[in-house]
Amino acid sequence: MLLAAKVLAGLVLFIHVYIVLLETVLFETRGRRAFGLTKEQAVMLKPAMSNQGCYNGFLAAALALGFLLPDAATGRAFTIYGLVCVAIAGVWGAVTAQIRILFIQTVPAVLGLMALFLV
């Protein structure tokens, strides 16, 4: 994998690990602030956000497998899968929640895909 693709895929992986933490174990503190929620909103949304964090964990796991699997072709396939899923989820999040999600998730994922396909 090209170094730029590795760096971008690693950045997307790092972002998603952080998102998982914000949506699960840090939701009532840092996560609540990051999402701009009141305490009352956070109490109501906590179960849904935890579930969403679980899904983001699966995206992070796919990207991690891209780095960890010994077979380069299989690792590349997991990286592509993870980046495509992140890009699509980012578009959906931008349409349904906040436009900034497009720049936090989709743009880095698409750049990573572009770097992957330059090889």
Per-residue pLDDT, averaged over 36-52, amounts to 94
Per-residue pLDDT, averaged over 99-116, amounts to 96
pLDDT bin (cut points 50, 70, 90) of residue 84 is very high
pLDDT of 16-27, one tens digit each?
999 999 999 999
**Helix, strand or coil, per DSSP, at residue 60:** helix
102 and 91 in contact (C-beta within 8 Å)? yes
Tokens matching residue 102: 């497009």
State the pTM of this model: 0.90
116 DSSP 8-state letter? H
Per-residue pLDDT, averaged over 96-117, amounts to 95
Predicted local distance difference test score (pLDDT) of residue 25: 95
d(C-alpha 70, C-alpha 89), whole Å: 27
63 and 79 in contact (C-beta within 8 Å)? yes
Amino acid at 118: L
63 and 82 in contact (C-beta within 8 Å)? yes
CA atoms within 13 A on the CB side of 46: 12
